[in-house]
A and B are shown apart, each in its own frame.
Chain A
Amino acid sequence: MIRLSIPLRQALAKLTLPVLFTVSFGVILLGKLDVMAAQRARISLADALAPIYATLAGPLANVRAGVEDVTGLFALDAEVARLRAENARLRHWQAVALTLAARTRALEADLHWIPSPAPEFVTARVVADAGGVFARAVLLSTGPNHFIRKGQIALSDGSLVGRVTDVGSRSARVLLITDPNSRIPVLLEGSGSRAIMVGTNGSRPRLIFWSGAAPREAQQVVTAGIAGSLPPDLPIGTVHYTAANVPEVVPGADLGRLGMVQIVAGGLAGLSAPEAVAAPPASPGGPRPG
């Protein structure tokens, strides 16, 4: 080790902080100049951590479930009453759904309807937050040799949750529909009017630029297959007004606590992109038809 005189050492120690401040401005510039480099660094760090978090996810979920079981004991009566009421309601809707399904089948047979192909998907575990304080995104652990690509969409409980924005070798990042950068063209079922759904960083994205009639409370919101950016008619949620003239969408999926998400392969309205043709055949652990 080089021996420095005490005054020199003290002077150097005093200089460290100003030098580091200067370097940090350099880091800011670097982050602005080469956005992709920063993104690559983030995703390689995520790649390194995703397997560790994926290993932890199982035990942690068990602990959480155990805690919920214990706390749930206190609300058991209310829960049973609620489930009974819901069950009665759902039985009614099941009867309606069965009748409608039979009628739809009959009509489709009459029309020689060509069904849209069922989308293929892979399922991945959400292992960490990937948005930070000011964004809404999640990190998926995908394992090596996955076939997830940028722009593919993520579903949970059958509802749209977001789109894949970054793909690493063992992880992928999904930008949620609640993120301020998220813009999704949607269709309001029933009225057929279109709108854009924008994220607000809150739990409910907002509808803007609607065509025709204003969105109604409890109206179903589905994706609009405009410009082939998304498969059409994927459920997103229902319209809800918390303030006058501010229609919001209550997502069908619980975005705050995503456990597993399905990444739908091929994105272009049922068409496969050229590179997606080489997707692997359905295997027990891999993609399977939905």
Chain B
Amino acid sequence: MVDVGRAPGIRPRPGIWRRLDGFARRAFPVTSTVLLMLASNAPFGIPDQAALLPAVTMIAVFFWSVFRPSGMPPLAVFLIGLLLDLLGWLPLGTGVLTLLLAHAFCARWRRGLARQGFLPVWLVFTGFAAAAAAVMWGLASLLILRLLPLAPAAFQAVLTAALYPALAIPFGRAHRDLAAPERA
């Protein structure tokens, strides 16, 4: 369903292309997240590249949950978490639970966050990334039943926070343009 007709007035029934366009725009957040996840695993040959996958996933889920929650529904977050677990060789459920917690956090605080400028959001995200990496480390340790080394989790937190602008700025552009169903 296309959300025309919210404003009063009579409009023509949207054509098939228009509806497809609207659908593509609504699917953009999830599609771009999944593609980024798959791309982050490509053989770039960067040392410690494994931390890239959770970093990219966390940024995408955070950004879209805050700025366009209709494009990142809980069910999509769940499936993205499952993909993160499988692709990142994490104990099953680690990514799912971490991302759902992240999504719940965003849903709770998004009204305040979405109104802030870029820098305050990045600052909040830095703390958020650290918490997410800690939750992931704790869950993985709990599920493997062994205390995992902290250094990779710390690196993941730093990388996640540092990568935020590189993804959030293009996402912001897309949010106003490519992913906006009202422009269909």
CA distance A129 to B107 in the complex (A): 33
- A1 CB contacts on chain B under 8 angstroms: 1
CA distance A57 to B42 in the complex (A): 8
Partner of B97, one of A24, A30, A131: A24
A30 with B92: CB separation less than 8 A: yes
Supposing A56-B42, A60-B42, A131-B50 touch, asked if A17 and B89 sit within 8 A by C-beta, the answer is: no
B93 with A25: CB separation less than 8 A: yes
Q: Chain B contact residues: over half helix, strand or loop, or mixed?
A: helix
CB of A181 to closest CB in B, whole Å: 9
A23-52 Cβ-contact flags toward B at 8 Å (1 or 0): 111011111100000100110010001001
Supposing A17-B100, A24-B100, A31-B143 touch, asked if A134 and B92 sit within 8 A by C-beta, the answer is: no
Any chain B CB within 8 A of the CB of A20?
yes
Any chain A CB within 8 A of the CB of B113?
no
CB of A39 to closest CB in B, whole Å: 9
CA distance A200 to B148 in the complex (A): 10
Classify chain B: how many residues form its interface, as a range: 35 or more
B86 with A17: CB separation less than 8 A: no
- A127 CB contacts on chain B under 8 angstroms: 43
A60 with B45: CB separation less than 8 A: yes
Any chain A CB within 8 A of the CB of B91?
yes
Binds A, one of B14-22, B25-33, B70-78, B169-177: B70-78
B108-146 Cβ-contact flags toward A at 8 Å (1 or 0): 000000000000000000000000000011001001101
A42 with B86: CB separation less than 8 A: yes
Any chain B CB within 8 A of the CB of A128?
yes
Supposing A24-B96, A28-B97, A31-B143 touch, asked if A201 and B89 sit within 8 A by C-beta, the answer is: no
CA distance A64 to B42 in the complex (A): 13
B75 with A133: CB separation less than 8 A: no
CB of A231 to closest CB in B, whole Å: 27
Residues from 199 to 223 in A contacting B, C-beta threshold 8 Å: 200-202
B74 with A16: CB separation less than 8 A: yes
B147-171 Cβ-contact flags toward A at 8 Å (1 or 0): 0110111001000000000000000
CB of B45 to closest CB in A, whole Å: 5
Q: Nearest B residue to A42 by beta-carbon distance?
A: B86
Partner of B38, one of A49, A126, A135, A256: A49
Q: How many A-B residue pairs have CB under 8 A?
A: 120
A134 with B44: CB separation less than 8 A: no
B149 with A27: CB separation less than 8 A: no
B78 with A137: CB separation less than 8 A: no
Residues from 122 to 181 in A contacting B, C-beta threshold 8 Å: 126-135, 137, 180
A42 with B78: CB separation less than 8 A: no
A134 with B140: CB separation less than 8 A: yes
Query: Which of A21, A24, A127 is packed against the most chain B CB atoms within 10 Å?
Result: A24
CB of A215 to closest CB in B, whole Å: 23
A38 with B149: CB separation less than 8 A: no
Supposing A17-B107, A21-B100 touch, asked if A53 and B90 sit within 8 A by C-beta, the answer is: no
A128 with B100: CB separation less than 8 A: no
- A17 CB contacts on chain B under 8 angstroms: 74, 100, 103-104, 107
- B90 CB contacts on chain A under 8 angstroms: 132-134
CA distance A27 to B94 in the complex (A): 9
- B74 CB contacts on chain A under 8 angstroms: 16-17, 20
Q: Nearest B residue to A258 by beta-carbon distance?
A: B45
Any chain B CB within 8 A of the CB of A276?
no
Q: Sample 14 A-B pairs with CB under 8 A, ordered by A number.
A: A20-B100, A28-B94, A28-B96, A38-B86, A45-B86, A60-B44, A61-B45, A128-B41, A132-B50, A133-B51, A133-B90, A134-B137, A201-B148, A202-B149
Residues in chain A within 8 A of chain B (CB atoms): 1, 16-17, 20-21, 23-25, 27-32, 38, 41-42, 45, 49, 52-53, 56-57, 60-61, 64, 126-135, 137, 180, 200-202, 256-257, 259
- Top 3 A-B residue pairs of the complex, sorted by shortest distance between their CB atoms: A31-B92, A28-B93, A132-B89
Residues in chain B within 8 A of chain A (CB atoms): 1, 38, 41-45, 47-51, 53-54, 73-75, 77-78, 81-82, 85-94, 96-97, 100, 103-104, 107, 136-137, 140, 143-144, 146, 148-149, 151-153, 156
Known: A28-B92, A32-B92, A49-B38. 18 other contacts (CB 8 A): A21-B97, A24-B97, A27-B96, A28-B91, A30-B92, A31-B91, A38-B92, A45-B86, A45-B87, A60-B43, A126-B43, A132-B50, A132-B53, A133-B136, A134-B152, A201-B152, A256-B47, A259-B45
